[in-house]
Amino acid sequence: MAAPSTRAGTLPETATTRPPRRFRAPRDLPRFALLCVLAIIFLAPVYWMLATSVKPEVDVISTPTQWIPANPTIDNYREVLTSPDGNILRWMWNSFFVATVFTVLHVALCALTAYPLARMRFPGREAIFWFILGSMMIPGIVTLIPSYLMMIRFDWINSFHSLIWPGMAGAFGVFLLRQFFLGLPRELEEAARLDGANSLQVLWHVILPLSLPSLVTLAVFSFMGSWNNFIWPTFVITDLDKLTLPVGVNTFSQRYVTDYGKLMASTAIASIPVLIAYLLAQRYLIEGLSTTGLKE
């Protein structure tokens, strides 16, 4: 069958040139209303946290509840940032440093592991992959004591090494990148090898540039996981100046037991960087998760 002809100077209509689908009220209105309700449910705690953090304490406990602060103030943030019980800016830097280093090394290691599992043929490849995948079934709390004893043996207690290296190998990251690598066309890889590229050059110049959405997705998940990690740093970090932000903020709950405005201010300071990171990488997150298949 002959291909349909097009006028000179025009391009055939494709998914990228087709105009966006218009809003159809009878069909899309219930879906839109449901999404609005879900958005309100998920955003309500965030709004309450931010609203409470700028209220004087007398307004926080007043009745009826003030959904919109009547007398907004930044005194809660000022007192939290200048509290003698801890340096919250120092804790934020500790969390940022640990999360950044962990994310870079974690993504690099997962990419180096996922590439041969997806693009190379060797005996035992499937067994290795299923062994890695099976490790996801082991709860993290089970390895808490063995990991802690290992940190003692390495003399890494009260050191950032204990926050970075133990979780470096992650089964989820290997699985995510492997599934994405499987969907890439092999012709590009074969063309690079014909030009004399070795495996590392193919990975660096061909595979990774095409896998940016999945890499950013894994990086955001890794950063958020490291930033929000609470149980493990509680065990291995004892120096006040080396605490990460979630553990440091927890110390404020011992002082501001009933000062809900200050508690919400410290919680907002700990949450805002993660929210910003998510908003900046939202486009890559959606693309990475939607294009990661389940090929075998």
Residues 172 and 52 in one domain: no
Residues of the chain short of pLDDT 50, as ranges, are 1-17, 293-296
Which pLDDT score is estimated for 12?
44
* Inside any domain, residue 19: no
Residue 269 lies in a domain: no
Number of domains in the chain: 2
Is the same domain home to 166 and 39?
Answer: no
Of 73, 105, 131, the residue at which a domain comes to its end is 73
* CA quadruple 29, 30, 35, 38: dihedral sign: positive
Q: What is the pLDDT of residue 289?
A: 62
pLDDT at position 24:
63
Q: Is residue 280 part of a domain?
A: yes
What's the whole-model pTM score?
0.80
What's residue 11's pLDDT?
43
Query: Which stretches of the chain are DSSP H helices?
Result: 25-53, 57-60, 75-81, 88-119, 125-134, 144-154, 161-164, 171-182, 186-194, 199-202, 208-210, 212-228, 231-236, 245-255, 260-280, 282-291
Q: Domain for residue 84, yes or no?
A: no
pLDDT at 106: 96
- In this predicted structure, what is the pLDDT of residue 287? 67
What is the per-residue pLDDT across 109-123, written as a single tens digit (0 to 9) for each? Answer: 999 999 999 998 899
Domain residues for the domain of 163 are 97-256+276-291
Last residue of a domain, one of 58, 73, 88: 73
In a domain, 207, yes or no: yes
Q: Are residues 114 and 232 in the same domain?
A: yes
Query: Looking at the structure, do residues 40 and 147 belong to the same domain, yes or no?
Result: no
Q: With respect to residue 14, please indicate whether it lies within any of the assigned structural domains.
A: no
Residue 67 shares a structural domain with residue 154: no
